[in-house]
Amino acid sequence: MKSDLTVPVIGIVHSPFHEKFGIPRQPNLVQVPAIIEFNPPYDDALAFEGLDEFSHLWLIWSFHQNKADSQSPKKFRTQIRPPRLGGNQKLGVFASRSMYRPSELGLSVVELVKVIRQNGKAKLLIRGADLLNGTPIVDIKPYIAYSDAIPEAKSGFAQAAPALLDIDWTIQASEQAKALIKQQLFDTEQQGLINELLALDPRPAYQDDANRVYGMAYDFVNITFRIAGQQVIVESLTKIHR
């Protein structure tokens, strides 16, 4: 039996997440848009015939920015600390969706908004992505509602969706958002998505300092914020020049 498996990278994700901090911990928690651009020969439009009939897709992808283990890049981690459990309780790696897995492969279900066809090539517009910009895609498969959705399924420590925090923008942050919107460098849809992302509490589970200011990049803006109790206070919104 072969011990290793080689898979092709069929495409790359273009998303507004240029840093890992702030990415939702599960897909479809926030309807973040993204584009999947395919590498030849996988970009042939014929390979996507019939895909328009499906509303959602499974994406199989690679955790391409994982840090190598300090002792050995190949060392198998048997246990991890899920953020959902406060980062203190250990569970088996196969009882989690941790990025530190033997294969370093991820699985996400996303909404298929549109198959974009041009000159015999195709790319996909999706929503609900929990993927870093540049994430390699190794396969896509259609989501089949009658078999993939199991309403009575048990989800262990993640049975219910996470509780959401309240959002409050300071006067300074609100004025900065208005200025960027006026310059057509930002829009209210992006502001709404940022609110939804922050409401999920992107902080590491072990951090709980009401005075600490965090920074999160989303597309071409940087957001600074604090979290006190159940409230996120957005302090500033500035343009990033990439």
The DSSP 8-state label assigned to residue 220 in this structure reads T
Q: pLDDT 10s per residue in the chain (242 long)?
A: 566 778 899 999 999 999 999 999 899 999 999 999 999 999 999 999 999 999 999 999 998 887 644 445 567 888 878 777 777 788 898 888 888 888 889 999 999 999 999 999 999 999 999 999 999 999 999 999 999 998 888 888 777 778 899 999 999 999 999 999 999 999 999 999 999 999 999 988 777 788 899 999 999 999 999 999 999 999 999 999 87
Domain boundaries, the chain: 11-66+104-145, 166-239
pLDDT for position 17? 96
125 exposure class (CB count in 10 Å sphere: 0-12, 13-18, 19+): middle
Tokens representing 103 are 């294969």
Q: Tell the residue number behind the tokens 């219910």, with chain if given.
A: 160
pLDDT for position 71? 44
| Ordered DSSP codes for 44-97 | BGGGGTTGGG-SEEEEEEE-TTPPPPSS-TT----EE--GGGTTTS-EEGGGS-
pLDDT for position 206? 74
pLDDT for position 14? 98
User: Class of 166-239 per CATH?
Assistant: alpha beta
Residue 110 and residue 128 in contact, taking contact as beta carbons nearer than 8 Å: yes
Neighbours of 106 (CB within 10 A): 21
pLDDT for position 69? 44
- Nearest alpha-carbon partner for 36 in 110, 91, 87: 110
User: Class of 11-66+104-145 per CATH?
Assistant: mainly beta
Residues 6+ apart with CB under 8 A from 173: 223, 234, 235, 236, 237
**CA dihedral for 76, 130, 29, 52, sign (positive or negative):** negative
pLDDT for position 207? 78
Residue 185 and residue 220 in contact, taking contact as beta carbons nearer than 8 Å: yes
Distance CA 217, CA 192 (A): 15
